[in-house]
């Protein structure tokens, strides 16, 4: 893909931006100055802002809310999490949702000893925290103006209120800050550009025609003061990502109807990473937990391989996906809740951004990982600090990205990085950008289509391996029996790169039961190890 030509409008000076508003909005902007945009996470090198540390939880059952009530409460969540006035801790709202979110709620109340109070009347919460609310931003229900309202609420320190609830909002003592019912995302970008973050934007569907999201991500967007938009794969979207800081991030998900590379490629060319997260909730609260340096269980000290053995590591796909980590991964019977987990070694991809976005969640996985005799170990999902195509990233921004990535990996005790790219395996300069960092011990290369297109080829860069997937478990593309046949026929020579394999397990079409069938039918000379152990074995024992 050719680097796009910038079509950015010039930055709007602060006075001009204010002059474009109505008198009421100008007054609201002055109020909004009391609600400063949070800085980046506690490490100044991270692009992800953190909410204040929660001291108590007000738990709201999402099932008991209408969509518009959930949107209102999500923006209130964000306001409560903002570190305004020097606040570093305080009460938080937590939306009670099924699956993984129950895990994290239990974790917050038990491990972190946070008191939790049921608070299922949304307007009672508005009354309780009225001193934190500057007013309301009016939008049209089931309409893309939800995104405009989310953006403006973050700037002005308000909550988003649907037009049908305006009278109720007034009855509760709130004043209108802005009416965005006839506005669009481009207007919000032009008008508030100088007051929005330049290192993070939120891409979130808000149109019933393309699949509308309600509360998801709006708590974090409001807390962070981030532009929230969705415009498909348009020139406007391109201009937004091109106008961001070097190595900025887009949290959410774009228009993948013509393939996810349609938007990830544009972002990559602009030096912007993508964090899949459009279903994510409660990040304003979860991000506020302490983020010490975490440790995986049972550090791997690989045993010397046998003289006639083949080493294989299995890695579960989609480790870039923060929403999956929050929601289905811990509870799904195909994945972390599978009865087969712990009966063989397996690697799980995780997003290193979780060390700032949801550190207690990442810690839960580490604490609950199998640690003997078989191990769960964690590696970085594609392609580092976010989903990006390294070959399309500007080289100086890739250097910035990998330096930031190495620091995050050290905090999260991660060493191996998955790469997803297009026909770039033979470009050693790309991999040097990663592997020159001591924290990064090796790379697992996946061709965009198919992941196993290079059939296990290996390169050495900075005296570390870049190993491509030899095969994969993917329904309709490669069956368990085909994987068994490939591995049982593979070379049994630990001194050769051919003596090592990485196999990807496609999480959406295959399960740990399918993987268990493979492991149960491997030949005696095939040894299953974790991906970090495999990388260490290759580094130590392969002749090169």
pLDDT in tens, 451-503: 999 999 999 999 999 999 999 999 999 999 999 999 999 999 999 999 999 99
Residue 6 is predicted with a pLDDT of 27
Q: Quote the pLDDT of residue 298.
A: 73
Whether the pLDDT of residue 83 is over 70: the answer is yes
Mean pLDDT for 79-107 is 94
Concatenate the DSSP letters of all residues of 312-364 into one string.
EEEEES-TT-HHHHHTTTTT-TTTTT-TTTTSS-EEEEE-TTHHHH-HHHHHH
Query: For residue 165, what is the DSSP state?
Result: G
Q: Which helix (H) or strand (E) holds 221?
A: helix 218-224
Q: Measured between alpha carbons, how far is residue 149 from residues 163, 171, 301 in Å?
A: 11, 20, 52
pLDDT of residue 86: 82
**Residue 37 pLDDT greater than 80, yes or no:** no
pLDDT at residue 36 in the model: 61
For 489-508, the DSSP string reads TS---TTSGGGEEEEEE-TT
Q: With bands split at pLDDT 50, 70 and 90, how would you rate the model's confidence at 7?
A: very low
Q: What is the pLDDT of residue 20?
A: 29
CATH number, domain 310-541: 3.20.20.490
pLDDT exceeds 50 at position 265 = yes
End-to-end CA distance of the chain: 34
- Report how far residue 359's alpha carbon sits from residue 369's, in angstroms, rounded to the nearest whole number: 15
User: pLDDT class for 305, splitting at 50, 70, 90?
Assistant: confident
Cβ neighbours of residue 154 under 8 Å, at least 6 residues apart?
37, 75, 78, 196, 221, 222, 223, 224, 225, 226, 228
Q: What angle do CA 272, 275, 278 make, to 5 degrees?
A: 130
What pTM was computed for the model? 0.91
Q: Residue 128 pLDDT more than 50?
A: yes
Please report which confidence band the pLDDT of residue 47 belongs to, taking 50, 70 and 90 as the band edges.
Answer: confident
In this structure, what DSSP letter does residue 421 have?
A: E
Average pLDDT, stretch 420-427?
98
Q: How far apart are CA 509 and CA 127, in angstroms?
A: 47
Residue with tokens 């296990």: 456
* Percent residues over pLDDT 70 in the chain: 91
Q: Cα 482 to the chain's mean position, in Å?
A: 32
Domain ranges of the chain: 14-286, 310-541
pLDDT in tens, 219-255: 999 999 999 999 999 999 999 999 999 999 999 999 9
Question: For residue 40, what pLDDT band results from cuts at 50, 70 and 90?
Answer: low
Please report the DSSP string for 212-257 in residue order. --SSTTHHHHHHHT-EEE---S-HHHHHHHHTSPTTEEEEE----T
Question: For position 75, what pLDDT does the model report?
Answer: 98
User: What is the rounded average pLDDT of the residues 424-444?
Assistant: 98
pLDDT 10s digits, 358-392: 999 999 999 999 998 999 999 999 999 999 999 99
Give the ranges where 346-446 is alpha helix by DSSP (H): 354-357, 359-367, 395-412, 428-435
Q: What is the pLDDT of residue 112?
A: 94
Least confident stretch, 64-78, 290-304, 378-392, 399-413: 290-304
């Amino acid at each position: 893909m050719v680097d796009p030509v910038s079509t950015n409008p010039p930055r709007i000076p602060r006075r001009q931006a204010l002059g474009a508003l109505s008198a009421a909005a100008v007054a609201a902007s002055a109020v909004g100055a009391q609600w400063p945009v949070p800085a980046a996470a506690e490490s100044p090198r991270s692009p992800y802002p953190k909410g204040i540390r929660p001291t108590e939880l007000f738990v709201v059952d999402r099932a008991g809310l209408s969509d518009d009530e959930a949107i209102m409460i999500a923006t209130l969540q964000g306001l409560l999490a903002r570190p305004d006035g020097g606040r570093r801790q305080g009460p938080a709202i937590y939306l009670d949702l099924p699956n993984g979110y129950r895990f994290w709620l239990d974790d917050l109340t038990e491990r972190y000893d946070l008191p939790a109070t049921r608070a299922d009347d949304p307007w009672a919460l508005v009354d309780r925290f009225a001193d934190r609310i500057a007013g309301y931003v009016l939008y049209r229900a089931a309409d893309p103006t939800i995104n405009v309202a989310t953006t403006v609420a973050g700037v002005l320190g308000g909550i988003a209120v649907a037009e049908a609830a305006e009278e109720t909002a007034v009855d509760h003592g709130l004043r209108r800050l802005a009416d965005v019912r006839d506005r669009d995302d481009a207007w919000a970008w032009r008008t508030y550009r100088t007051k929005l973050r330049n290192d993070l934007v939120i891409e979130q569907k808000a149109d019933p025609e393309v699949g509308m999201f309600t509360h998801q991500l709006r708590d974090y967007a409001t807390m962070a003061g981030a532009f929230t938009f969705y415009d498909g794969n348009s020139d406007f979207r391109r201009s937004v990502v091109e106008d961001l800081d070097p190595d900025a991030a887009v949290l959410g998900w774009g228009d993948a109807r013509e393939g996810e590379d349609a938007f990830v490629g544009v972002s990559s060319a602009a030096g912007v990473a993508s964090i899949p997260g459009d279903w994510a909730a409660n990040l304003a609260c979860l991000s506020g937990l302490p983020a010490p340096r975490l440790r995986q269980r049972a550090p791997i000290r690989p045993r010397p391989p046998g003289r006639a053995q083949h080493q294989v590591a299995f890695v579960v796909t989609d480790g870039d996906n923060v929403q999956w980590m929050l929601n289905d991964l811990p509870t799904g019977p195909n994945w972390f809740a599978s009865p087969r987990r712990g009966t063989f070694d397996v690697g799980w991809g995780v997003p290193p951004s979780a060390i700032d976005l949801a550190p207690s969640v990442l810690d839960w996985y580490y604490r609950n990982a199998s640690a003997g005799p078989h191990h769960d170990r964690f590696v970085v999902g594609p392609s580092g600090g976010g989903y990006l195509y390294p070959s399309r990233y500007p080289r100086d921004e890739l250097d910035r990205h990998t330096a930031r990535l190495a620091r995050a990996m050290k905090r999260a005790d991660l060493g191996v990085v998955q790469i997803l790219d297009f026909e770039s395996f033979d470009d050693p300069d790309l991999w040097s950008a990663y592997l020159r960092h001591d924290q990064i011990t090796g790379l697992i290369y996946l061709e965009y289509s198919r992941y196993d297109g290079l059939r296990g080829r290996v390169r050495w860069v900075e005296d570390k391996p870049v190993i491509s997937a030899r095969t994969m478990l993917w329904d309709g593309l490669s069956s368990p029996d085909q994987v068994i046949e490939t591995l049982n026929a593979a070379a049994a020579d630990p001194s050769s790169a051919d003596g090592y394999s990485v196999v990807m397990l496609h999480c959406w079409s295959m399960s740990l039961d399918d993987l268990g069938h493979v492991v149960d039918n491997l030949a005696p000379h095939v040894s299953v190890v974790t991906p970090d152990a495999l990388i260490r074995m290759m580094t130590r024992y392969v002749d090169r």
